Structure 1
């Protein structure tokens, strides 16, 4: 028979998830209206979410902890999406790469507003900054490993400095996802993913395949 303690813990976790969802929806709405997360007060946030101030502080120390809780979840989702790219081998085509990168974009796109809030919060919240830094460094490390593996097997241009190339591609992608993908219409989004795939293909793989990309001219 389940213990009363386990039921209580489960109920509290469910309640926290419900409150978190309402608060995050309020954050997105307020930021979409032009408010700045850094300047957003807890009073304004709970009022928008229809949650009492006391309830907020039952579950979250401050709005930084709210963002940290969300960020931990989205980082896990992005990790899974990125693995599809890093798992590509020498038989992968441009279309395979595009499909893998499209998965990353698809995961990231619904969360651009909250991700922007996380980067804003990182400027003053050491916990958020640590998560953001860890996320970016893990992405860089994963891509660096993929590049070095590809260089050993001949699928990635051996002339590239792996660490620096991984850092550039990771930070360029993060800024592009934030600035370009955020408000793109579906047709524009498809073109953005095409461009993203071509940039990565021509940077990493084309030089190892006699300089010919699968999709010339893109």
Structure 2
């Protein structure tokens, strides 16, 4: 008997236990090069030590595993993103980089599942809804940060807030998604450097050009991976 069925449970606790066990199996296959679309319910159920009927008793379909996981991960990523959106006019380039690093590291905890979720967007309407809902939260949060920064003078006032937030957020989402497909040729620290440079120069650099020395931390040391 598998660990997943060793101690019978009921309700949400049982479902959560099974989901974690099944997602661990999915991740193992994804790391080995399989695609989520190629994994069948029968295969996953067999490896988890449960029957197909037990699987369907708890999950509508296999994509339900990704939908529930992504919804939970959104909370983790939002907490990291809010550290960025809390920054004000006193923030240095190093502060911005540190905040963005927190977002990248949140994505990196389960990169294969991130990539699989975005693949499922193309064929599963409910997965697409979950991802698009999360993106709306990210974009709205960044837009509010931009508008606050423009009102208080530390974000470039010429930028259209909604459109800038849209571009920056989808650019980051796509880039971070790619981290789940293969280890990048350059180190993660350099990718964070590039991300921070794009954000800094887009949002914060222009208001500081007329204030010598305000771009504090521009030549911060780059940590290793």
Where do residues 164-179 of structure 1 align in structure 2 (5 Å cutoff)?
164-179=163-178
Quote the residue 1:52 is aligned against: 51
Quote the residue 2:145 is aligned against: 146
Mapped partners of 1:11, 1:65: distance in 2: 18
- TM-superposition CA deviations, 1:117-153 (whole Å, max 9, x none): 1112222222111111111121111111111110111
Do structure 1's residue 107 and structure 2's residue 102 form an aligned pair? no
Mapped partners of 2:141, 2:44: distance in 1: 36
> By how many angstroms is 1:23 displaced?
0.6
Which is richer in helix? 1
Do structure 1's residue 33 and structure 2's residue 28 form an aligned pair? no
Quote the residue 2:96 is aligned against: 97
Mapped partners of 2:100, 2:18: distance in 1: 32
> By how many angstroms is 1:184 displaced?
4.3
Quote the residue 2:15 is aligned against: 16
TM-score (norm: length of structure 1)? 0.87
Change (3 A) 1:132 1:37: same
Say if 1:25 and 1:49, in contact at 8 Å, map to a contact too. no
Structure 2: gaps (5+ residues): 1-8
> By how many angstroms is 1:110 displaced?
1.5
Mapped partners of 1:181, 1:27: distance in 2: 14
Change (3 A) 1:53 1:114: same
Mapped partners of 1:70, 1:56: distance in 2: 16
Mapped partners of 1:71, 1:180: distance in 2: 16
Mapped partners of 1:197, 1:75: distance in 2: 21
Mapped partners of 2:188, 2:34: distance in 1: 26
What is the alpha-carbon root mean square deviation over aligned residues? 2.2
